[in-house]
């Protein structure tokens, strides 16, 4: 499906604890219908933003029988949220607190969460510190173990950072960087990805995040041992959990996914053919699988 990226939601600005302004999209749908169940809150990846979830949010909020209120957000320094003058605040603990602040501001005591990549790492932090706020969790191509080869791919992609001249060039760059992992995508899907990733000023694509965020990743020492998050993952044990993995993902391996299923026997595991890190959630049968999981949670 394709729709105007600027309709179907209410745009909100919510101050973080330190006063930084956070941008939120609130897809309320039919409020009488969506009020009957906990909302769904979507957390994007490292340099991504709320637009990643736009089409999924429309599908869930406008579902013909069981609609959900869906809230998507731009983490600090991304999209339309303010850039932080203190670059050290771009960390998981601060971003987890931002999520709690948004929930408090919107009067949400509990929600189902979808976390893509870094958004899923934020959910690991919340599982360890505030599991009571998690009604259900969907981890999109992320888990307690981050593979160095996947992190290297992300770092190298950010290091290349070729500036696109126009929208078509942006699409071509995305195909060059991700085409081998995302064989399932069609022409319109690549156009959608470009609209989600880039902001456009006078028709020219620009990176839609604080460069300091990419700099943190570019400076990461991948020769040093990487800590895992299995201790935090234990916080999900009493929470309905779905794990989505891209078939071609290098960040989340099949072995880690299998271990997650062993440690959380009730988890729903879905592998997405023809996609890498991280799967686009509005394609194919993924929205139906997500809706079924949420309805059963």
pLDDT tens for each residue of 126-157: 999 999 999 999 999 999 999 999 999 888 87
Among 5-14, 230-239, 257-266, the least confident range: 5-14
Under CATH, to which class is 10-147+227-296 assigned?
A: alpha beta
| pLDDT at 4 (0 to 100) | 62
Which of 145, 100, 137 is closest to 238 using CA atoms? 137
The proportion of the chain whose per-residue pLDDT surpasses 70, expressed as a percent, equals: 98
Residue 2 has pLDDT above 70, yes or no: no
Mean pLDDT of 24-31: 92
| pLDDT at 226 (0 to 100) | 86
The chain-wide mean pLDDT, for the chain, equals 94
Domain ranges of the chain: 10-147+227-296
Exposed / middle / buried, residue 289 (Cβ in 10 Å: 0-12, 13-18, 19+): middle
Residue 162 has pLDDT above 80, yes or no: no
CA angle, residues 20, 42, 289, in degrees to nearest 5: 180
Name which residue leads in pLDDT, 163 or 198: 198
Which of 194, 225, 198 is closest to 209 using CA atoms? 198
Residue 175 has pLDDT above 70, yes or no: yes
Among 68-72, 125-129, 171-175, 223-227, the least confident range: 223-227
Residue 30 has pLDDT above 90, yes or no: no
Q: What burial letters (b/e) apply to 30-40, b meaning 16+ CB within 10 Å?
A: eeebbeebbbb
Residue 269 has pLDDT above 60, yes or no: yes
Structure confidence at residue 161 as a pLDDT band (50, 70, 90): low
**What is this structure's pTM?**
0.96
| pLDDT at 53 (0 to 100) | 98
| pLDDT at 1 (0 to 100) | 42
- Residues 6 or more apart whose CB falls under 8 angstroms from that of 11 comprise 23, 24, 25, 26
């Amino acid at each position: 499906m394709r729709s105007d990226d600027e309709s179907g939601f209410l745009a909100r600005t919510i101050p973080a604890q330190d006063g930084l302004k956070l941008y939120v999209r609130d897809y309320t749908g039919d409020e009488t219908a969506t009020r009957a169940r906990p909302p769904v809150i979507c957390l994007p990846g490292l340099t991504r933003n709320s637009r990643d979830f736009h089409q999924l949010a429309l599908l869930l909020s406008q579902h013909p029988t069981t609609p959900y209120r869906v809230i998507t957000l731009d983490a600090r320094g991304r999209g339309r949220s303010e850039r932080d003058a203190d670059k050290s605040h771009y960390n998981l603990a601060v971003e987890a607190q931002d999520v709690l602040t948004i929930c408090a501001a919107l009067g949400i005591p509990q929600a189902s969460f979808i976390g893509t990549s870094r958004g899923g790492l934020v959910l690991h932090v919340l599982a360890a510190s505030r599991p009571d706020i998690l009604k259900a969790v969907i981890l999109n191509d992320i888990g307690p173990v981050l593979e160095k080869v996947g992190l290297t791919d992300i770092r190298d992609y950010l290091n290349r950072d070729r500036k696109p001249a126009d929208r078509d060039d942006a699409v071509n760059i995305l195909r060059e960087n991700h085409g081998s992992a995302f064989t399932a995508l069609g022409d319109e899907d690549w156009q959608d990805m470009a609209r989600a990733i880039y902001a456009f000023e006078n028709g020219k694509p620009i990176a839609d995040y604080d460069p300091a965020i990419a700099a943190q990743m570019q400076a990461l020492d991948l020769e040093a041992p990487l800590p895992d998050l299995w201790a935090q993952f234990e916080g999900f044990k009493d929470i309905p959990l779905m794990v989505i993995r891209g078939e071609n993902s290098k960040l989340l391996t099949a072995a880690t996914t299998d271990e997650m299923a062993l440690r959380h026997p009730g988890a729903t595991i879905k592998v997405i053919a023809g996609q890498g890190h991280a799967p686009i959630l509005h394609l194919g049968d993924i929205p139906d699988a997500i809706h079924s999981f949420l309805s059963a949670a």
